Structure 1
Amino acid sequence: MYKVFVNNTPIILSTKKSIDGYKMIPIKKVEFPTIIKDILDKEAVDEEAKYHFYHKNEDKLIEHLYSKLPVVVAGGGKAYNAKGEILFIYRNGKWDLPKGKIEKNEHIETAAIREVEEETGVTGLEITKFLYKTYHVFRRNGEYRLKVTYWFEMKTEYKGDLVPQKEEGITKVKWKNKRKAKKALTNSYANIKKLFSYDYLS
């Protein structure tokens, strides 16, 4: 099962034919602009749209998803310092983790480290493990796109200044301990929360 987020509303992709409470649509028949409009309209009045895209074959499920919208592949990092604090950025009124689009012929891990460095000013990053892949729909130049982000856990001994990449709309960069991270996650995105364990969210 996969989840594609439109804002904080998840669309479920599954090989199950039915999921209780969700409207099932065979993914071949999905018309994304109509569904996105319905989700946004319902969010505006505090209602929840529940969509389930189905295909019996898991590989075909993702293949069809990628054919429905232009795909942007990105890399991002959940970076820890020597104190065990996590690196957050503040953009568009939300706390987020640094991430960005991979460049042509760039390896995904290289892109993830580069984007964290560019967005925060932190250097000396080392990837410790792959975490998760998230999917969300965003709009750019009037067109909806699907962002697929590969997230990596990182560590660094960096102790220098944090420098927000203002041209990317980032206004703050902060190291946050567990207490502050939990607070930040109350004003973050659903796909970012998926990168944190239950004790951060409870």
Structure 2
Amino acid sequence: MYKVFVNDIPIILSTKKDLGEKYISIPLKEAKFKRIIKKINKGKLLYVNLYHDKKEKLLKHLFKKLPVVTAGGGLVLNPHNEVLFIYRNGRWDLPKGKVEKNESIETGAIREVEEETGVKNLRITKFLQTTYHVFQRKGRYKLKVTYWYEMTTDYDGELVPEESEGIMKVKWKDMAKAQKALKKSYANIKLLFPEEILPVHSKNGISQV
């Protein structure tokens, strides 16, 4: 099962034809993806299941629906076990960005974190997961596929938000403050955090299946 977020509403990709009464289920190959996105944005659809009987074909068919942008990002921890957050477009987010041509995803993820926050001495400790979300540029819908890594750093210098990318603040947050920040974050970002620090409404809300 995969979740493709349109704002904070997940389109489910699964091998199950029936996910329950509230879900509209559509064969993935037949799905008019842009039409579905527009209905979600207008509040006319909340629960969508796109299904295919072969799991290995789910992403293959998804990637045919929209242009794909590959990105890398980091959940960065310092020696105090604080998490690095950025503030952009009125929400707390984690640093990430588009991977450049001929650049590995890991290298791109580290570069983007450095550029967006000013933090250096980054080291990848493990891969976390991949998230999928739809965004719009110049009137066109695109699918951003973001590969997330846990990173560590001993950097204790100045945090520098990349204002040209719309980033207003960069902050280290302990787990209590991270929980508060996640209340004003995105559903796909919440997927990266341990369940015990998630806001209560996120555990049982629409972002969870």
TM-superposed CA distance for 1:48, in Å, is 5.6
Contact 2:39 2:45 in 1 (8 A): no
1:125 alignment partner AA: L
Moved more, 21-30 or 162-171: 21-30
Matched with 1:148 is 145
Moved more, 91-100 or 30-39: 30-39
Residue correspondence of structure 1 range 13-92 to structure 2 within 5 A: 13-20=13-20, 21-42=22-43, 49-92=46-89
Matched with 2:204 is none
Deviations 1:82-139 (A, max 9, x none): 1110000000000000000000011000000000000000000000000010000000
| C-alpha distance in structure 2 between counterparts of 1:194 and 1:48, whole Å | 22
| C-alpha distance in structure 1 between counterparts of 2:79 and 2:56, whole Å | 40
| C-alpha distance in structure 2 between counterparts of 1:109 and 1:197, whole Å | 22
Matched with 1:10 is 10
Tell me the TM-score normalized by structure 2. 0.93
Alignment equivalent of 1:197, drawn from 194, 197, 200: 194
| C-alpha distance in structure 2 between counterparts of 1:191 and 1:48, whole Å | 18
How much is the aligned-residue C-alpha RMSD, in angstroms? 0.9
Deviations 1:14-57 (A, max 9, x none): 01121102111111111122111111111xxxx76110001111
Tell me the TM-score normalized by structure 1. 0.96
| C-alpha distance in structure 2 between counterparts of 1:48 and 1:180, whole Å | 33
2:181 pairs with 1:178: no
Matched with 1:123 is 120
| C-alpha distance in structure 2 between counterparts of 1:120 and 1:82, whole Å | 17
1:15 alignment partner AA: T
| C-alpha distance in structure 2 between counterparts of 1:68 and 1:40, whole Å | 17
Residue correspondence of structure 1 range 107-122 to structure 2 within 5 A: 107-122=104-119
Give secondary structure in 2 for the equivalent of 1:68: coil
| C-alpha distance in structure 2 between counterparts of 1:103 and 1:41, whole Å | 33
2:97 pairs with 1:96: no
Give secondary structure in 1 for the equivalent of 2:132: strand
Matched with 2:103 is 106
Structure 2: 5+ residue stretches without partners: 201-209
Alignment equivalent of 2:130, drawn from 106, 130, 133: 133
Matched with 2:161 is 164
1:96 alignment partner AA: D
Using the aligned pairs only, state the percent identity: 62
Runs of 4+ displaced beyond 3 Å: none
Give secondary structure in 2 for the equivalent of 1:124: coil
Q: How many residues align?
A: 198
| C-alpha distance in structure 2 between counterparts of 1:113 and 1:28, whole Å | 36
